[in-house]
Structure 1
Amino acid sequence: MAPRANWKGFLRLSLVTCPVALYPATSESEKISFNQLNRQTGHRIKYLKVDADTGDEVPNEDIVKGYELDKGQYIEVTKDELEEIALESTRTIEIDEFVDKPDIDPRYLIRPYYLRPDGKVGHDAFAVIRETIREMDKVAIGRVVLTNREHIIALEPLDKGLVGTLLRYPYEVRSEQEYFDEIQDVKVTKDMLDLARHIVNQKAGRFEPEKFEDHYETALIDLINQKRAGKPITPKERPASTNVVDLMEALRRSVGKEAAPTKAAAKSGKKPRKASSGQKEMLMPIEGKKPKEAAAKKPAAKPQRKSA
């Protein structure tokens, strides 16, 4: 089942309008998550909303928003007052301009969404807007209100739909100067650059997301499976830290280090193993045979992650 839309409204380019729905393009639900527990009882920790001075629990209907002017002094703002200042972008994504994609600084990118027609009407208008953006090879810039705040959104064609990426405002992006000013000016020699380029060429490839595996997620799954099976947990050896004394020597050794796996792969004729789509490892099943019995029967089998 597809996730519910985060937003529904209209997409408008001048006088061309169509109803659309906005859906999250990413998900964190597949990752391992933890609950906080009381070490003494094993029960989950529950958070309550309490009055900071009295300590009494406050029901949701008595909780309002407030902006702090001075310490302990607040201006109360009601839900009705917030709705009164609702912008047009609350219900409509108005395309304001078209820009070249390289012009968008990556620091301004927040998160992606999928945009598609909402319902059976408006598909023709949606297609006109989508194909115009595709034909012009541009990114459409508009505004949309999500989570009670207005965001800039950049729209690009993807297959039959659009990808909308939320963008930050300039005041949300910190200047690099406060971090980079103290970096020393270092002269890099041609020999160093030549060796570094050689390393880059040995590592050159195409970006294929399916090749990458979340190693930390896999380690968490292994840890939980071992604990459920009653196996002792042995800490892994941490890699030793090394100080680079001779940079040129480190570069030369790096060239040799990267060349060795390449030659070995060429001799075997095998392509590097790709991680399959998504994390396939799965926690041991809760129902059925006990973990120890299952592990004894299939010691070499990897636990599989069930699809949603």
Structure 2
Amino acid sequence: MAPRANWKGFLRLSLVTCPVALYPATSESEKISFNQLNRQTGHRIKYLKVDADTGDEVPNEDIVKGYELDKGQYIEVTKEELEELALESTRTIEIDEFVDRSEIDPRYLIRPYYLRPDGKVGHDAFAVIRETIREMDKVAIGRVVLTNREHIIALEARDKGLIGTLLRYPYEVRDPAEYFDDIHDVKVTKDMLDLAKHIVNQKAGQFEPDKFEDHYESALVDLINQKRAGKVIRPKERPKGENVVDLMEALRQSVGREAAPANAGKRAKKAKKASVGQKEMLMPIAGKKPAKEAAAKKPAAGARRKSA
């Protein structure tokens, strides 16, 4: 079942308009999450909204937004006043310009969304805008209001829909000079660079997300399973960092070290793709089976009603 749309409105290129819906393109719901508990009772911790001075709990209807002018002095802004701003981008993504993808600095990228026609009308207009973006090999830049703030959005053609990526404003991006200016100027010799390039060539591959494994998430699964089984958890020895004394020798050894696993990695590539979802790796929970097992043993409709 597709997730609920984060935004619905219209996509407009000059006089061409169509109704569209915006959906999150990513999700972290499969990641293991924790609740905070009272160590003494084992009960969950509950957060309350309280008055900072009186300590009394404040109901939601009495909570308003405020901008702090000076310490303890605020200007209150109501929900109705914010809605009165009535930016056009609240209901319409207006395409302002087209740029090359290479011109967008990665620091400005925030998060991706899927954009598709909303309802049964407007598919022709949507297709015209999508194919124009695709054929011109450009990124369309527009504006959209999400969570009460206006964002810049970059639209690219993807399959039968559009990918919309929210972009940061310049004031949100920090100046790299603040971090890079005190890095020492080092002259890298040609021999060192050649050895490093050789290591890169040995590790060369293609971007295949299916190969990636979240090792921390896997370790969490293992930890939870061990605790459920009543096993004693013993801390593992942490790897120790080693000081590199001879950089050239370290590069030479790295070349030999990477040569051996390269072929083994290629043979294991197909096996890695068959990994299951992280949560399904947990010990069986009542009413829940691993995805593949559930699919293989899916009961008939009558059997489901009987088990219910």
Instruction: Normalising by structure 2, report the TM-score.
Output: 0.91
The residue identity in structure 2 corresponding to 1:234 is: R
Measured against aligned partners, the alpha-carbon deviations of 1:239-296 in whole angstroms (never above 9, x if no partner) come to 1210111110110110010012135568xx66564243663542212328xxxxxxxx
2:281 is aligned to 282
Measured against aligned partners, the alpha-carbon deviations of 1:138-177 in whole angstroms (never above 9, x if no partner) come to 0000000000000000000110000000000000000100
2:62 is aligned to 62
Measured against aligned partners, the alpha-carbon deviations of 1:22-67 in whole angstroms (never above 9, x if no partner) come to 0000001000000000000000000000000000000000000000
Residue 210 of structure 1 contacts residue 275 of structure 1 at CA under 8 Å; is this kept in 2? yes
Separation in 2, partners of 1:279, 1:28: 12
What is the number of residues matched between the two proteins?
A: 291
Name the SS of the counterpart of 1:36 in structure 2.
Answer: coil
In the TM superposition, 1:86-97 aligns within 5 A as 86-97=86-97
2:120 is aligned to 120
Following superposition, the deviation at residue 220 of structure 1 comes to: 0.4
Separation in 2, partners of 1:17, 1:265: 50
1:299 is aligned to none
Name the SS of the counterpart of 2:184 in structure 1.
Answer: coil
Rate the CA distance shift 1:12–1:271 in 2: closer, same or farther, 3 A. closer
Separation in 2, partners of 1:22, 1:183: 42
Instruction: Normalising by structure 1, report the TM-score.
Output: 0.91
2:303 is aligned to none
Residue 282 of structure 1 contacts residue 305 of structure 1 at CA under 8 Å; is this kept in 2? no
Separation in 1, partners of 2:11, 2:276: 32
Residue 213 of structure 1 contacts residue 279 of structure 1 at CA under 8 Å; is this kept in 2? no
Measured against aligned partners, the alpha-carbon deviations of 1:187-226 in whole angstroms (never above 9, x if no partner) come to 0000000000000000000000000011110110110011
The residue identity in structure 2 corresponding to 1:276 is: A
2:208 is aligned to 208
In the TM superposition, 1:230-245 aligns within 5 A as 230-245=230-245
Q: Does residue 49 in structure 1 map to residue 49 in structure 2?
A: yes
In the TM superposition, 1:27-38 aligns within 5 A as 27-38=27-38
Residue 109 of structure 2 contacts residue 165 of structure 2 at CA under 8 Å; is this kept in 1? yes
Following superposition, the deviation at residue 235 of structure 1 comes to: 1.9
The residue identity in structure 2 corresponding to 1:215 is: H
Indicate the percent of aligned positions where both proteins have the same amino acid: 85
Separation in 2, partners of 1:240, 1:73: 51
The residue identity in structure 1 corresponding to 2:5 is: A
1:190 is aligned to 190
Separation in 2, partners of 1:49, 1:284: 37
Where does the alignment leave 5 or more consecutive residues of structure 1 unmatched? Answer: 289-302
Residue 214 of structure 1 contacts residue 279 of structure 1 at CA under 8 Å; is this kept in 2? no
Q: CA RMSD in A?
A: 1.7
Separation in 2, partners of 1:278, 1:21: 31
Following superposition, the deviation at residue 236 of structure 1 comes to: 2.0
2:75 is aligned to 75
Separation in 2, partners of 1:55, 1:92: 43
Following superposition, the deviation at residue 93 of structure 1 comes to: 0.1
The residue identity in structure 1 corresponding to 2:117 is: P
The residue identity in structure 2 corresponding to 1:69 is: L
Separation in 2, partners of 1:179, 1:270: 40
Residue 213 of structure 1 contacts residue 275 of structure 1 at CA under 8 Å; is this kept in 2? no
Separation in 2, partners of 1:81, 1:56: 27
